[in-house]
Amino acid sequence: MRFNAKDLASLARRPSGCFDKEGKLKICRVVGDEKLIEPRERWCRLKGNLLFLMKNKSSEASEVVILERCWIVEFRSKTDVSIVLKFQSGEPDLYLEAASKPECESWAVALGEANSEGLQNKIQQLRRLIMEIKEERSSDEARQFLPSSQVDSLGEPQFTSIQRIANEPKLEFSLACKDLVAATRDRKLNTFIQVSVVHPAEHILTRYSSTEIVEGTRDPLFLTGVTFPPEYPIYEETKIKLTVYDVKDKSQDTVRTSVLPDHKEPRADVGRSFLGCTTFRVGDLVKSKEQQLTLTLRTSDGGKTVGTIEVNLVKMGELEDGETDHITTDTQDQKCALVRECTATEGISGKDNLPSLNAVLKNPICKLYRFPTSDNKWMRIREQMAETTLSFHVPKELINLHIKEDMRRNQELKDLGELAPHWDNMRKSVIAHCDQMLSMYQDTLAELGKHTGSSFKSSCSKGEKTLEFIPINLHLQRMHVHSPRLKDALYDVITVGAPAAHFQGFKNGGLRKLLSKFEAERRNTGYQCIYYSPENTAKAKEVLSNINHLQPLISSHADLLLNSASQHSPDSLKNSLKMLSEKTELFVHAFKDQLVRNALLALYTARPGCVLKKPAVPRNSAEEGGDLQHQDHPSQIKRQDSIPHHSEYDEEEWDRVWANVGKSLNCVIAMVDRLLEKDNISNIKEGENDPSAADCKVLHTGGDWYEQLYPLVITLKDCMGEVVTRAKQSMAFVLLQELACGLPQCLMLTLRRDIVFSQALAGLVCGFIIKLHTGLRDQGFLQQLHTVGLLVQYEGLLSTYSEEAGMLEDMAVGISDLQKVMFKVIEGKSEDFLPIITGRREHYIIEVQLPAKMFELLPQEIKEGKLLRMYPVLFNVGINEQQTLAERFGDTTLQENINQENLELLKEYYKLFTEKMPPDCLPHFQEQNDLKGLLENLHQNIQAKKRKNVEIMWLAATICRKLNGVRFTCCKSAKDRTSMSVTLEQCSILRDEHQLHKDFFIRALDCMRREGCRIENVLKNVKCRKYAFNMIQLMAFPKYYRPPEGTYGKADT
């Protein structure tokens, strides 16, 4: 064979990236077992079937070996790092010695695949696969792959669907290999299977999932299976490709911890090597008699057999059958239990739940496991994780309400009228700052309106200004347990990053510290303004809210009263009067406060040229109330002018104006009673004499009713309008003082509080909706919901050191603010089941919509619109290395105070629960004495002040579940520490409530952390399957909060 020496020399000098493999090897020629010379170190470069041997990396090639008609001899011993190339031509063998065993194995694989015969076999195998696909082409071959819903709309080709149960996965199967052949005889295989799909309509290989790695055996029983969700377009004609890889170093298997394009195969030198592959049709598996296929694994050239693979169809209802004794030896070295991947949500409450749940849950991921119980039976666990559309829906609704509230406040400040120069300048400054903040809210809402794509905010985006109102990494984490002897159970946890203002930073602490400092400074302010306590400013906002709510209602009911009078309808007149009386009395009651009178005086003094007639004399509260049923006729009411600017101010004038509303109402009531009484007497007399005359009387008196009521109703409206004008101005003046005393800090704190509250509320709404759906058929829970309220328990994992202390302060205030949120359940009238938010700051009502069938299951009290209270509590225990610094050199007072305060809140809820609910309303496996003991134990652990006392979190979580509460778990980004906590909680529940075999606790824990939903959450956030821990950090973690080896490392967080 002749070669062009110049071309070969040029090829050998090409850059390193152009070669299939290169590196240092010791090389010599061998005849028999005798080495002709001692091995010499050479720099070797492999390109195709050419092996270049060079003295060093920069020298010319001294020899070229053509890798044709040769084979590799296996390693001589376990410790030997050499291979031998033998040639059919009879020339001396080539001895190659590597620096390490992994490097030697890598060279053996590369050299074995380098010859042209192997390449030809690969080409033939690919041609056969292409021909098989072409035989099954449909007439619609050019159509691209679409989601199943779109495929259906375009007309699905005639593929054979797989029969299945509604809302259950279409196909599930488990995998096992036998008699795998290693590259060398003594090599212990660490294998996993990669699953790929060839859809019959698209003819493109799509990587779907992988199993876990099974170590040290040639007969691996893979405890990870495969699941295809209900909406996945899989048919009997679909082909599944199974590829088996041998992993050399699990911790360095970078392909399994990163994202590769679907069309690219991993290189052999990145920690794995190819063993074999096989393909089967889904229809063959489904129709097989034993529902099992035994397939031959072959090398990529389709020639050499490297073992067999068994594919077993899994029917979830049959998983619990049989004993588990056989796994004690088969799975001795395996790290996981049965896991199957899925991307579809499943509810156990039936298909009626789907419309409303699908409105809030998106992009779900599902994993399935089976673990042995203590009595050697199988239990089945389905772990689910889903993001929620509420991550963006709730903040956008809130910001819209903030904008309306702030615009209304700014207008009320402008409507204060003429003020003295000092106060007028103050008002102008406040309005200017408020307009700036209003513009910022509007810009944020506009930016959120442009957002498309994912419905969650990743941990990498927590510092983005445009997304600061959005909760971080909000997901539902659900565990659905099927036990052989226990009732099915659902366990839900909402995971979310700690509600905090990350964009604003924590240089000066969080809300807890900032609010306290601001209030102290405001109380001692040097500004020339009037100090009102936080309670008084809150009262002023409440009065303004009541005015804006009640005034249009009263006006509407007054018009209905006149309409009833014009129609001469006694029953309608009575009902209209009743509603008018109720709303007017609520209106009058709203102003029974000394704050309004004091604020009116303060406003008068702020007018230009004011003169006080006499000092303020507070009126008796009983006199303020007045008996609405014993007031004078409106003819005796002296109409008042608006607040005077340059005349004497009579402080008792407000009492008279305020009381005139009640007097006017009483006059209306008296007139209606008089009209109804006369009408009743007249009807009796006329009916006895002449029925036709009675009809004429009706027509005549109808006009009389309207004419007699009209002036009284107008007087009521006028009196009410006068009260509204004065009260609005006085309360707006109180708010002016609040804003003026703290510009611009006051507005910045409001913004920060809005941001934190928005994040907290989005999680709460999600938790409430999920809890409502799962408890719809639990009458005890529904009774508890409207009688006592809902317990919402937050588990915090933040440290009290550096920035995380500020995050914890933000989180504590945000969760505390949730106490002012009320929920109401309404019947959904359309297909849009997203919740509706109404109200104002510190007083929001969330209307949750349910489909008609589900709404009918609710108790009458809830159906009638009873407001449902929330009882949020927060318990925090830092577990990372920063908490170690805080405990030894810093301060943990913040954590201790938060835990103690929330323990008292939890005790209050438990007291209410025991007073209002019967004992049998507790979950079926609990007793009331258990709760008392758990609360006492929690109290003792909080008082103990033990370092990293995670027992506090376990006890609080258990109490929450026993009290039918909603569970939250939070860390900085709900990704790493949260994953450790959630998986530990799930496995602890399996052990304590479902008899998980004690020998499988750690295996189950490692499995959920390595192959479960939480590692998928990490991938969603940072595009890498690695928890963001390092070895030094993990040394500070409690034992059971440490991830398994190979699942952590450097990653952006």
Please list the active-site residues: 971
Cβ(723)–Cβ(659) under 8 Å? no
Identify which of 496, 428, 518, 411 has the alpha carbon closest to the alpha carbon of residue 752: 518
CA-CA-CA-CA torsion for 137, 139, 145, 147, nearest 10 degrees?
Answer: -120
* Beta-carbon count within 10 A of 939 CB: 16
Q: What's the rounded Cα separation, in Å, for the pair 781 and 774?
A: 10
Residue 173 is inside which H or E element, if any? strand 171-178
Identify which of 1015, 1004, 999 has the alpha carbon closest to the alpha carbon of residue 337: 1004
Residues 6+ apart with CB under 8 A from 323: 376, 377
Six-digit token string for 800? 């009290």
Phi, psi of 141 (to 5 degrees): -65, -25
Six-digit token string for 421? 């120069």
CA-CA-CA-CA torsion for 175, 179, 182, 185, nearest 10 degrees?
Answer: 150
Cβ(966)–Cβ(768) under 8 Å? yes
* Beta-carbon count within 10 A of 1007 CB: 27
Judged by DSSP in three states, 1027 sits in strand
Q: What's the rounded Cα separation, in Å, for the pair 38 and 217?
A: 37
Residue 327 is inside which H or E element, if any? helix 327-330
Q: What's the rounded Cα separation, in Å, for the pair 635 and 793?
A: 59
Identify which of 629, 548, 639, 541 has the alpha carbon closest to the alpha carbon of residue 585: 629
Beta bridge partners of 53: 44, 63
Residues 6+ apart with CB under 8 A from 865: 824, 826
Beta bridge partners of 312: 174, 292
Residues 6+ apart with CB under 8 A from 191: 177, 180, 213, 214, 220, 244, 245, 246, 247, 275
Cβ(309)–Cβ(177) under 8 Å? yes
Integer CA distances (angstroms), 79 to 38, 99, 873, in order: 19, 12, 60
Identify which of 739, 715, 778, 767 has the alpha carbon closest to the alpha carbon of residue 917: 778
Q: What's the rounded Cα separation, in Å, for the pair 719 and 715?
A: 6
**Cα dihedral across residues 681, 687, 693, 697: positive or negative:** positive
Residue 489 is inside which H or E element, if any? strand 489-495
